[in-house]
Structure 1
Amino acid sequence: MRLRGRSMGWVPPLLLLAGIAVADFNTTGEFRIISWIVLVPGIAAALCGVWGTAVFAVLALLTYVTVDSAWPHQYQTGLPDFILVTVGSILAVAACVVRVRGERRMLHMRDIADTTRRTVLRPLPPGWGGLEHAGVYLASDTEARVGGDFYDIQPGPHGTRVLVGDVQGKGLGAVEAAAALLGTFREAGYHEADLATVAERLETRIVRHRNHTAALGRKADGDRFATAVLLGFPEDAPGAVDAVVFGHEPPLAVGPGGVRQLPAGDGLPLGLGELAPARPTVRRLPLAPDETLLLVTDGVTEARDRQGCFYRLRDEVARAVAADPGVTEPRRLAAHVRDGTLRHCGGRLDDDTTVFAVRRPPHPRDE
């Protein structure tokens, strides 16, 4: 409980302490409620720190002795209730110690999860790689705060590359696979001139990662794969984008004139390349200067409402753009899809959810 940044957790137990004392003074001798004061340190244990709870435990004991002594001897509750209040106060302080330790442990684990997320999903500076972008990541496991979805932008001498994907499965195994793919993307995306070579490097990396986890005896990770979209923004073709789709939901091109879906391509998910007769095709697709590419994972497309209906992403985005063409700006577009997904599923995410919007600046900047 906080008010203007200050903790107000001491207010309820203090009001309860005063209320019980005043009420006991105004009752008849046959009906005493002073022993109810044992509730005060119990309430404090849930709202205050250890020292605060200890203070209320002492105050409860002192108030009990003071109020009970004010009554004639025949109406005093005596030693049994004093023992009750004493034992209750001690247990309340002990419970508060356990609660505070648990909260500190949870905060420590959250810090670790945040560090892991910043390592896997590194923060992207505004205008990184000469692109306007906005990303939203929501983990289905709110305690873990990081899962198998991934995205990144890698500028380099051969243009800027973008990768968005989703590792099959959940848990630390999915996080490890995502980290492996992102590490390879950051290196290959910078050094390799051919986007097809970057795609091959990603396929090789997840196969090597699976072999490594299988050698460790982690059979559950031995068949892990990932869907992904690999984009290249060539410097010599400002009106086009190169795309490789690895079994992922194709990007949407969102512009003031409407919403269109880019071709799905012929690529299989990363890790299943050995089943394909040839390596995936790199397609150069036209992209208008005012169009934003919208990429999402299945946490968006498979979000269901209470009736079991899927979230209709393309229709919802088209409706929003028709009402306000400014929604095509990456930050607004990502926020709109995030809010729409959460509203559609009532805030209950069954899978990790990533929304990533990216476009060339409407007016190219001079580097």
Structure 2
Amino acid sequence: MTQVESRRRRQPLWTRGRIALQLLPLLLLVGITVLDLETGEWFRIVSWIVLVPGTAAAVCGAWTTAGYAVLSLLAYAAVDRVWPSEHRAGLPDFLLVALGGALATLASIARVRRERQMLHMRDIADTTRRTVLRRLPPDFGGLEHAGVYLAADVDARVGGDYYDIQPGPHGTRVLVGDVQGKGLGAVETAAALLGTFRESAYHEADLAVVAERLETRMTRHRMHRIALGADDGDRFSTAVLLGFPDDAPETVELINFGHEPPLAVGPDGVRELPAGDGLPLGLGDLTGSRPPLHRVRFGREETLLMVTDGVTEARNEAGEFYPLVPEVARAVAADPRRAEPHRLVRRVRDGVLAHTRGHLEDDTTAFAVRRAPEQPEQGRLRS
């Protein structure tokens, strides 16, 4: 996030994009004044000026609302004096306008404080996400990669979507997952799994051992949370674990913990890799078995696309799910360059937002990787 974007996020909502709306109370004031003067004594509406500060409280800042409240009082006094004494609204309505202005100013102060608090919470959520999802260098581990994350607009609550790349002596490993639930508990679980992944993916030669360590970590973390009194008894995480062996450039290893199947996107179209034939992380004890390890053909010209259920379960107004595979296939057929990781995740992001008209019910993540054409030394960082 740039400094300019950061400053904009910290500004109250009423300072961004509401200049035109701030003129609405003024137009209302002018309209009421003119109508009161142009109609006869049988239709005195000058007391309606109390609506002006009330309207300002909904779209303006506290000082602007207070200004409209004072202006309304002055306008009321000026207009009412134009009429003969027997037709004036008088002191009772003047007090009504004064009280309405005071209450409107207080309401505006409360609203602005609430909006600032919401922006602060969103900043905390963004910071938390950036802490868990570390920045990845370009062509990290010999992989081109791109990811997008869209938070569901639910009181700025963060979710448990996560992804990472870890190069090591035994090849490059990739992990994409989605922790059940929302809030800091889900983020904490994602952080625990990512920490275990980064260590075991570097040291362990067998991808199945990495998967076993993730299952163990999930169980230990859940038991720790329960001991602390947290309601995490049923928390689990779907995930897909990938391995790109150095000695098999045309192969990808895959273990799927109940996650959406990855899509191999390339010149020949879109094909699904093995689906989630195992239980999610944290539920392995129910069967005592672990998901199998698959070795799948993976061409250098192909890109692996992994999404969370925020993509596949995105619904439009008619209740229809987002057609991920047909949409991606159609886009790549029209322009093969859209199979590039950055273009691919942007296409998924734009497609989901268009399908839902921006109303996301769940956090939405898309992550795409493919082998880099060249593997410079800095791309094989052993971090």
TM-score by length of 1: 0.89
Per the alignment, do residues 26 and 163 of structure 1 end up closer, same or farther by CA in structure 2, a change over 3 Å counting?
Answer: same
Match of 1:200, SS? helix
Tell whether 2:77 aligns with 1:65: yes
The alignment covers a number of residue pairs equal to 366
- Asked if structure 1 preserves the Cα contact closer than 8 Å seen for 2:266 and 2:336, the reply is yes
Tell whether 2:49 aligns with 1:52: no
More displaced, 23-32 or 202-211? 23-32
Per the alignment, do residues 26 and 230 of structure 1 end up closer, same or farther by CA in structure 2, a change over 3 Å counting?
Answer: same
Per the alignment, do residues 304 and 35 of structure 1 end up closer, same or farther by CA in structure 2, a change over 3 Å counting?
Answer: closer
Per the alignment, do residues 344 and 351 of structure 1 end up closer, same or farther by CA in structure 2, a change over 3 Å counting?
Answer: same
Match of 1:188, SS? helix
Shift of 1:118: 1.4
Shift of 1:266: 5.3
Shift of 1:200: 1.8
- Asked if structure 1 preserves the Cα contact closer than 8 Å seen for 2:14 and 2:61, the reply is no
Per the alignment, do residues 265 and 167 of structure 1 end up closer, same or farther by CA in structure 2, a change over 3 Å counting?
Answer: closer
What amino acid maps onto 1:313 in structure 2?
A: L
How do residues 147-186 of structure 1 correspond to structure 2 at under 5 angstroms?
Answer: 147-186=159-198
Tell whether 2:305 aligns with 1:294: yes
Tell whether 2:224 aligns with 1:212: yes
Partner Cα separation in structure 1 for residue 64 and residue 318 of structure 2: 48
Consecutive unaligned residues of structure 1, counting only runs of 5 or more, are none
Match of 2:299, SS? coil
Please point out which of 20, 34, 41 is paired with 1:29.
41
Shift of 1:4: 9.7
Match of 2:330 in 1: 319
Consecutive unaligned residues of structure 2, counting only runs of 5 or more, are 1-12, 379-383
Match of 1:30, SS? helix
TM-score by length of 2: 0.86
Please point out which of 229, 232, 237 is paired with 2:240.
229
- Asked if structure 2 preserves the Cα contact closer than 8 Å seen for 1:2 and 1:8, the reply is no
- Asked if structure 2 preserves the Cα contact closer than 8 Å seen for 1:114 and 1:145, the reply is no
More displaced, 296-305 or 275-284? 275-284
Match of 1:251 in 2: 262
Tell whether 2:288 aligns with 1:285: no
Match of 2:6 in 1: none
Partner Cα separation in structure 2 for residue 279 and residue 56 of structure 1: 67
What amino acid maps onto 1:317 in structure 2?
A: V
- Structural RMSD (CA): 2.6
- The one-character-per-residue Cα deviations of 1:81-105 (angstroms, maximum 9, x if unpaired) are 1111111111111111111111111
How do residues 70-85 of structure 1 correspond to structure 2 at under 5 angstroms?
Answer: 70-85=82-97
- Asked if structure 1 preserves the Cα contact closer than 8 Å seen for 2:260 and 2:276, the reply is no
- The one-character-per-residue Cα deviations of 1:36-95 (angstroms, maximum 9, x if unpaired) are 211111111112111111111111111111221222222221111111111111111111
Partner Cα separation in structure 2 for residue 12 and residue 304 of structure 1: 36
Match of 1:169, SS? strand
Match of 1:109 in 2: 121
Match of 1:221, SS? coil
Tell whether 2:139 aligns with 1:139: no
- Asked if structure 2 preserves the Cα contact closer than 8 Å seen for 1:306 and 1:345, the reply is yes
